[in-house]
Amino acid sequence: MAATFELEIATPERLLVREQVTEAQIPAVNGYIGVLPGHAPLLSELGIGELSYQVGNEKHTVVIAGGVLEVLPELARVLTTSAEKASEIDVARAQASMKRANERLSSPKESMDVARALNALKRAQARLDVAGGRK
Q: How would DSSP label each residue in the chain?
A: --S-EEEEEE-SS-EEEEEEESEEEEEETTEEEEE-TTPPPEEEEB-EEEEEEEETTEEEEEEEEEEEEEEETTEEEEEEEEEEEGGG--HHHHHHHHHHHHHHHHS--TT--HHHHHHHHHHHHHHHHHHHH--
Residue 1's pLDDT band (boundaries 50, 70, 90)?
A: low
Q: For 2-11, 55-64, 107-116, which range has the lowest pLDDT when averaged over its residues? A: 107-116
Q: Is the pLDDT of residue 135 over 50?
A: no
Q: Give yes or no: residues 77 and 110 share one domain.
A: no
Residue 18's pLDDT band (boundaries 50, 70, 90)?
A: very high
Q: Give yes or no: residues 63 and 129 share one domain.
A: no
Q: Give yes or no: residues 46 and 99 share one domain.
A: no
pLDDT of residue 107: 82
Q: Give yes or no: residues 99 and 114 share one domain.
A: yes
Q: Give yes or no: residues 35 and 59 share one domain.
A: yes
Q: Give yes or no: residues 76 and 122 share one domain.
A: no
Q: For 9-13, 67-71, 75-79, 123-127, which range has the lowest pLDDT when averaged over its residues? A: 123-127
pLDDT of residue 134: 47
Q: Give yes or no: residues 110 and 121 share one domain.
A: yes
Q: Mark which of 69, 86, 103 sits at the end of a domain.
A: 86
CB distance 11 to 28 below 8 Å: no
> Global pTM?
0.84
Query: The CATH number of the domain where 98 resides is what?
Result: 1.20.5.440
Q: Give yes or no: residues 65 and 103 share one domain.
A: no
* Residue 32 domain boundaries: 5-86
pLDDT, greater one: 36 or 92: 36
Q: Give yes or no: residues 105 and 127 share one domain.
A: yes
Q: Give yes or no: residues 108 and 43 share one domain.
A: no
pLDDT of residue 119: 87
Number of domains into which the chain is organized: 2
Q: Is the pLDDT of residue 70 over 90?
A: yes
